[in-house]
Amino acid sequence: MIEKGLNHLMIRLKLACLVLVSSGLSGCLGAPEGVYPVQNFQLERYLGQWYEIARLDHSFERGMSSVSATYSMREDGGVVVLNAGFMDESKQWRQAEGKAYFVQTPDIGHLKVSFFGPFYGSYIIFELDSVDYQYAFVAGMDTDYLWFLSRSPEVSDDLVNHFIELSATLGFDTESLIFVDHR
């Protein structure tokens, strides 16, 4: 009888742990208040190389210039994410390869991205040049994560101002933006 009770308790503990781990992993897939992914997204048009025009600071990109992201298809239907940048201090190129999958449906610009293990973070395309896919504004799970990507390393001042104004309206700290040097 005691052994049966212990087995039942162990099963309940394992289920509780599974629920906690699952909710912890999915908690990183949220969005900042007021930030909504683009609709009618077309992954095949988004694939290829993007240049990082601006970002909020993070340890994984600190001290980098000439930052780019290249997206291609994985065999399992996901997306290969290859981020590269030049470490100004050490004068060396660094790159990281990750993977991404849609959070909802493929026509909604919300993906989950992982560079290590089972841990995923939100990648929310909240504005996109829907005509030519030449620029994208991307957020993470909260207002600490923000990127401005472009197919070209240089963009117009009007587009930069639009990015800053929209991002500030959504609660991002645009005073702390880092504009990436691509020379």
**Residue 121 sits in which domain range?**
31-179
Domain with 53 in it: what CATH number? 2.40.128.20
Select the more confidently predicted residue: 144 or 3.
144
Provide the number of structural domains found in the chain.
1
Query: pLDDT band for position 144 (50/70/90)?
Result: very high
Q: Is the pLDDT score of 167 beyond 70?
A: yes
> Would residue 152 count as lying in a domain?
yes
> Would residue 9 count as lying in a domain?
no
> Would residue 2 count as lying in a domain?
no
Residue 155's pLDDT is 98
Question: What mean pLDDT is predicted for residues 101-128?
Answer: 96
> Would residue 24 count as lying in a domain?
no
The CA–CA distances, whole Å, from 153 to 23, 115, 130, 173 equal 38, 24, 19, 23
Indicate the SS3 state at residue 122: strand
Query: pLDDT band for position 1 (50/70/90)?
Result: low
Amino acid 3 reads E
pTM of the model: 0.84
Q: What is the pLDDT of residues 37-88, one digit of tens each?
A: 999 999 999 999 999 999 999 998 999 999 999 999 999 999 999 999 999 9
Closest CA to 106 of 125, 119, 82: 125
> Would residue 134 count as lying in a domain?
yes
- Cα 168 from Cα 89, distance rounded (Å): 31
> Would residue 8 count as lying in a domain?
no
Q: Is the pLDDT score of 152 beyond 70?
A: yes
